[in-house]
């Protein structure tokens, strides 16, 4: 393995030793207890299984068959999660075939950022992750389960399910994905229409037609944002069946994979591989490496810090940055390139990338996974099969074959010997404005350094209004402050991409600096995001005034206000205006999240609300 990967992993292990040891002691203590139906009182057991058919009651109580808890994020609003509607019945059927039972332990909330983007509901988005984690804990707290299947895909849902399930680390758990929608209007063409709309060149009807052609059916959105990055990370952590991530919802193979997940989670009960032991520091590093090698979502620099913390592991942005320096970029998927996630899958997908990273010494192969004691299983691809191949590699209607040795499209996926770049797609920035991250791989090289006067905005709406008024036809760095977790829940700022992209297309040198989030939507515009600490927590971004010269340097990794030191030291941090504070606290349920805004940790600490 690369020495830097080993050294960073060891540093994380040493840093986490006390927390991790305590976590594992709790996991082991829970694992030593008798099964729920034998341990709980008779009234408790009767309540738990009252609604089961008689044969299932007999199976779980008298025959002591295993009981699988299903945590589902199904709803009809998320295209990615709509296919989950029929999964519980399918899982119950497969469980019965193997002498087991299955119950929906709970549903977890799952909001679509695409629906709430740019509106007040988006301010609940980040906090929904911890709400999902708590909902997962509530479902599993019935304490009658021998294993769990986790049905979730999108942005906060996977991290939330994983954080919640890690509190029940004694249970074997498998994530069950549902796959991406078929390719529609390309992401590039969609972005062009958005920019034309921002310029007033097309109307709402044309924009809606384009958006509906891009987002047109069941399945995950096809750009490589947080949702599809989630799936890549779960593959790299060995928490999926190999290659399950990007099989389409209506492909016949999808049902076979779901049934195989039931079989696998039942088998894990005898393999000493509960979730809490699988997710160790090597597993977390593998997820970080996969993110960097594929230019994945910047949101995971928040989410995976929280996931790691839930398993007693401490990571920070410096760990990501140092890994990025030695991990090659092997994939270009929009907004990191032109391809969509279906093209990524066709070119080799997660199996190809994981094998290349293992062979290049960038990943830990000697780890537990839901598929055995090695990550090598994740380099295989699922194919339909009548039954097993006689070698134990097939389960029901699935068998696994080796991923192709060569990329199916080198404009999308490349081998580690010929990467798109020698370093990963994310970069840490640090300076007198704080610490931030940038998705440098999505930005043209001639835009990696921007030095320009600041224009300060308190809201994203104010920036959009200035654009529409023609006030931004110049070089500048937009500072959009009061967008952190304490201020308003740290919403995504995707609606700022079109106007900034239009200005960049006109030849102006523009960039964004914010204590909010932007994820994959930042695209080709340089965006220093997640500035930490945020303004409301005393962050220096609150000292910036319109006209200050700022420098964003993704080459040197710096983010500074070029203001004389004495003047900078004397500056007072701006206060959140009373009208904004009042607005942020009310409407569309924001009242109910006041406690989270008050207690949330910094973005670099995972924006967790439960510590």
Asked if 456 and 546 touch (Cβ cutoff 8 Å), the reply is yes
Cα–Cα dist 517/515, whole Å = 7
Cα–Cα dist 103/449, whole Å = 54
Q: What is the DSSP string of 255-269?
A: HHHHHHHHHHHHHGG
Cα–Cα dist 535/57, whole Å = 56
Per-residue pLDDT, 520: 53
Per-residue pLDDT, 389: 44
Per-residue pLDDT, 391: 42
List of residues 6+ apart from 550 with CB closer than 8 A: 433, 451, 452, 453, 454, 477, 479, 513, 544, 559, 560, 561, 562
Token code pair at residue 588: 């569309």
Q: What is the DSSP letter of 59?
A: I
Beta bridge partners of 229: none
Asked if 486 and 451 touch (Cβ cutoff 8 Å), the reply is no
Q: What is the DSSP letter of 520?
A: G
Which secondary structure element, helix H or strand E, spans residue 220, and what is its range? none
Mean pLDDT by groups of 10 residues along the chain of 611 residues: 98 98 98 94 95 92 95 97 97 96 97 92 96 98 98 97 98 98 92 92 95 95 93 98 97 96 96 96 98 94 98 97 96 91 97 98 97 96 70 65 94 97 91 94 91 98 97 98 97 92 96 89 83 97 98 97 97 97 96 97 97 93
HSE on the CB side for 47, CA within 13 Å?
9
List of residues 6+ apart from 121 with CB closer than 8 A: 111, 115, 588, 589
Cα–Cα dist 53/441, whole Å = 54
Q: What is the DSSP string of 347-364?
A: HTHHHHHHHHHHHTT-S-
Q: What is the DSSP string of 440-499?
A: GGGS-GGGSEEEEEEEEESSHHHHHHHHHTTTT-S-EEEEE-S-SHHHH---B-GGGHHH
Token code pair at residue 151: 């049905």
Angle among Cα 522, 350, 271 to the nearest 5 degrees reads 125
Asked if 346 and 312 touch (Cβ cutoff 8 Å), the reply is no
Exposed / middle / buried, residue 451 (Cβ in 10 Å: 0-12, 13-18, 19+):
middle
Angle among Cα 186, 438, 447 to the nearest 5 degrees reads 75
Cα–Cα dist 322/513, whole Å = 22
Token code pair at residue 270: 């005898």
Extended strands (E) in 126-190: 147-151, 173-175
Alpha carbon distances (Å) from 516 to 33, 35, 524, 572, 588: 44, 45, 18, 21, 20
Which pairing describes strands 558-561 and 549-553: parallel, antiparallel, or unpaired?
A: antiparallel
Diameter of the chain by CA atoms?
78
Closest CA to 116 of 460, 465, 484, 491: 491
Asked if 281 and 305 touch (Cβ cutoff 8 Å), the reply is no
Q: What is the DSSP letter of 147?
A: E
Cα–Cα dist 571/61, whole Å = 68
Asked if 377 and 234 touch (Cβ cutoff 8 Å), the reply is no
**Helix, strand, coil percent values for the chain (each to nearest 5):** 45, 15, 40
Q: Rounded to the nearest 10 degrees, what angle do helices 226-237 and 281-293 cross at?
A: 140
Cα–Cα dist 148/138, whole Å = 13
Cis peptide before 335 (omega within 30 of 0): yes
């Amino acid at each position: 393995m690369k020495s830097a990967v080993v050294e960073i992993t060891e540093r994380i292990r040493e840093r986490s030793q006390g927390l991790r040891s305590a976590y594992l002691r709790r996991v082991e203590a829970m694992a030593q207890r008798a099964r729920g139906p034998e341990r709980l009182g008779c009234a408790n057991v009767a309540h738990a299984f009252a609604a089961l058919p008689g044969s299932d009651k007999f199976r779980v109580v008298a025959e002591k068959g295993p009981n699988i808890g299903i945590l589902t994020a199904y709803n009809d609003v998320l295209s990615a999660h709509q296919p989950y509607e029929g999964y519980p019945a399918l899982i119950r059927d497969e469980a019965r075939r193997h002498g087991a039972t299955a119950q929906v332990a709970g549903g977890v909330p799952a909001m679509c950022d695409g629906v709430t983007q740019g509106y007040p509901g988006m301010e609940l988005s980040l906090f929904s992750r911890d709400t999902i984690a708590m909902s997962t804990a509530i479902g599993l707290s019935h304490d009658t389960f021998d294993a769990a299947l986790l049905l979730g895909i999108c942005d906060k849902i996977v991290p939330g399910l994983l954080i919640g399930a890690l509190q029940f680390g004694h249970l074997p758990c498998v994530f069950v994905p549902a796959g991406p929608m078929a390719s529609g209007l390309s992401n590039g063409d969609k972005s062009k229409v958005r920019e034309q709309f921002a310029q007033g060149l097309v109307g709402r009807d044309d924009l809606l037609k384009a958006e509906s052609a891009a987002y047109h059916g069941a399945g995950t959105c096809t750009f490589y944002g947080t949702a599809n990055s989630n799936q890549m990370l779960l593959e790299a952590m060995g928490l999926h069946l190999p290659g399950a991530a990007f099989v389409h919802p209506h492909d016949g193979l999808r049902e076979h994979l779901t049934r195989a997940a039931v079989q696998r989670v039942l088998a894990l009960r005898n393999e000493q591989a509960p979730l809490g032991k699988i997710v160790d520091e090597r597993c977390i590093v593998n997820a970080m490496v996969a993110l960097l090698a594929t230019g994945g979502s910047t949101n995971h620099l928040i989410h995976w810090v929280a996931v790691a913390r839930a398993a007693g592991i401490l990571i920070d942005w410096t760990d990501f940055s140092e890994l990025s320096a030695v991990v090659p970029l092997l994939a270009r998927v929009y907004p990191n390139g032109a391809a969509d996630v279906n093209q990524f899958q066709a070119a080799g997908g997660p199996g190809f990338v994981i094998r290349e990273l293992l062979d290049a010494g960038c990943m830990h192969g000697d780890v537990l996974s839901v598929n055995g004691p090695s990550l090598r299983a994740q380099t295989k691809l699922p194919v339909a099969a009548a039954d097993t191949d006689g070698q134990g590699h097939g389960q029901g209607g699935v068998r696994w074959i080796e991923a192709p040795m060569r990329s199916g499209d080198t404009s999308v996926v490349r081998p580690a010997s010929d990467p798109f770049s020698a370093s990963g797609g994310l970069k840490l920035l640090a300076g007198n404005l704080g610490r931030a991250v940038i998705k440098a791989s999505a930005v043209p090289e001639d835009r990696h350094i921007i030095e320009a006067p600041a224009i300060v905005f308190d809201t994203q709406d104010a920036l959009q209004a200035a654009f529409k008024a023609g006030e931004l036809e110049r070089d500048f760095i937009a500072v959009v402050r009061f967008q952190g977790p304490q201020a308003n829940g740290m919403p995504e700022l995707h609606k700022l991409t079109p106007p900034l992209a239009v200005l960049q297309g006109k030849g102006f040198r523009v960039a964004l600096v914010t204590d909010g989030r932007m994820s994959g939507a930042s695209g080709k515009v340089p965006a220093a995001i997640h500035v930490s600490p945020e303004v409301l927590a005393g962050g220096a971004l609150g000292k910036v005034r319109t006209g200050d010269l700022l420098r964003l340097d993704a080459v040197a990794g710096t983010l500074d206000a070029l203001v004389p030191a004495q003047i900078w030291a004397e500056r007072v941090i701006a206060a959140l205006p009373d009208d904004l504070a009042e607005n942020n606290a009310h409407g569309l349920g924001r009242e109910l999240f006041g406690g989270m805004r008050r207690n949330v940790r910094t973005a670099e600490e995972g924006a967790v609300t439960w510590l």
